[in-house]
Structure formats: C-alpha cells, structure tokens
Amino acid sequence: MKKYILDFLHRGIIASVGGPIILAIIYAVLYANGIVDMLSTIEVVKGIITSAILAFIAGGINFVYNIERLQTAPAALIHFAVLYLDYILIYLFNGWIVNSLDVIIIFTSIFALGFALIWLIIYLTTRKKIKKMNKSLAK
C-alpha cells in the first residue's frame, strides 16, 4: 500500500506543476469569450491553488494502472470517477461552470466522450504495437 501512495504522490507532484498553466488557459478562454474581464487577487490565488490540486489528483490517479491485482476495466472506472469528481468539483467551486443541471449534463457528456476517445486511441495504439511485437517474436 505504501508503494501505491508514494507512486500517487510522485505522479501528483510532477503533474501539479502544470496547474498554473491549466489555470492560465482557462482564464484565457473565459476572457476570450467575454466571461471574465478582471480578477480579484483572491480569485487568482484560489485559481492557482485549486488548479494545482486538480493537476495533482489528475496526475496522481494514474497509479491505479500499476496495481497488479486490479484489472484494466475497474482501473479505468476508478480513473474516470476520480478525474470526473476532481474536475467537476474544482470547476464548480471556482465558478468556471454554472451549477445547473443542463450545464452539468453537457460537461459530463463532453468529459465522458473525451475520456472514451482518449482510451480508444490508447487501446488501438497499444494493440497495434503488441501485434508488431508478436510478429517480430514469431520470426
């Protein structure tokens, strides 16, 4: 168990460096759409801290794929659930999305579609590499 906690912390710390970059992109998008013109100091501080937390959790949770006893499907479900909660809670807390059922359904749909698309790309790429390795081994 200690091994997994250390793995989570290591991955999370590396990823959390990107938190402020994520925040800058979010604020740039909000500014470009006329949603945010000016931010208070507390909004910036809150954004920096929460985006670092978001990135820490998102980066750290990848450790679930290294748990030998956990099959890929349950690991992917855990990964999806933790990422979803991480993103939705941080976005709602910061007011980056409106707390309404319509917006949350749209967010959830886009998140699920994006997650599935990324998984499909990873699956197809891995399958192709495995086929290539198997052909090489067969020779």
Q: What does the pLDDT look like over 1-42, one tens digit per residue?
A: 788 888 888 888 888 877 788 888 888 898 899 988 888 889
For CA atoms 44, 46, 52, 57, give the dihedral sign: negative
Q: pLDDT digit string (tens) for 91-109?
A: 999 988 999 999 999 999 9
82-93 tens-digit pLDDT: 999 999 999 999
Q: What is the pTM of this model?
A: 0.78
HEC string of the chain equals: CHHHHHHHHHHHHHHHCCHHHHHHHHHHHHHHCCCCCCCCHHHHHHHHHHHHHHHHHHHHHHHHHHCCCCCHHHHHHHHHHHHHHHHHHHHHHHCCCCCCHHHHHHHHHHHHHHHHHHHHHHHHHHHHHHHHHHHHHHC
Distance CA 83, CA 57 (A): 8
Predicted confidence band of residue 111 (pLDDT cuts 50, 70, 90): very high
pLDDT(68) > 90: no
pLDDT on residue 57: 92
